[in-house]
Amino acid sequence: MITLQEAHLKGDRNKIPMLFLMDVIHGYKTIYPIPLGLGCSFDPELVEECSRMAAREAAAGGVFVNYAPMVDYCRDARWGRIMETCSEDTGLNCIMGAAQVKGYRGEGLDRDDTLASCVKHFAAYGGAEAGRDYNTVELSEHILREFYLPAYKACIDAGADMIMPSFNSLNGVPATANSWLLNTILRDEWGFEGVVVTDYNAIAELMVHGVAENGKQAAELAFNCGNHIDMVSSNYLKYLEELVKEGKITEEEIDNAVMRVLKLKQKLGL
């Protein structure tokens, strides 16, 4: 990654370093128990210490942002990612998620042994019907707010700088195109000022969900719902300029998205 960064800076007229993001779920070089096992320790100080060591090792390898913690609430053992969350209990999930965020960021993101956190997957990814990954989620607002949302909020309160929308639909609306989740709750209610990054190819998958006819419409939906970074699909790269010319999004909105990423890079000492 360090070699890639050097090559990038040589060719970038603005000399703005790239962000390298990685899943460092339960250790980088030194491997700890899976998050579900860490949760079984009931020891948030130990979990924070493990996260601190993982951050030191990953940062030394050139990583800046960790796609963790994953704090999806789940009580269905059939779900294939249940081992990546710390608990089936909302309160413990809040405590352990916050401990991980604090461990990754250490004394501050401007130090060279820390990581920014990207909490995931927002929201209710662990509530998939029949425990089938990517499957639809149907929840009342009461159940969503009482059991599923608190851990994401606890991680944001602990200092998480990024959040990742989930693959699933929530009550018929895909999270990547869910303005109620990403604008009303995340920004208006919680005051989140960080970066929203889509999950892997999630913008393109809005077509699979049936809410977008093509990549251009998917990009418009995702951007207007508050996703700042398009992971993998390249639909932003292909269509945002065209959407600006058509008046469907504004340059000011793009500037705002870019500024959020630049502020994160500044926090990280880049």
Active site (catalytic) residues: 199
CA 99 to chain centre: 17
Tell me the one-letter amino acid at 132.
R
Instruction: Give the span between the Cα atoms of 203 and 12, in whole angstroms.
Output: 27
3-state DSSP helix/strand/coil percent for the chain, to nearest 5? 50, 10, 40
Ordered alpha helix ranges (H), the chain:
2-11, 35-39, 44-60, 90-105, 141-143, 149-157, 179, 205-209, 215-224, 235-245, 251-267
Instruction: Give the span between the Cα atoms of 257 and 223, in whole angstroms.
Output: 9
Instruction: Give the span between the Cα atoms of 164 and 64, in whole angstroms.
Output: 16
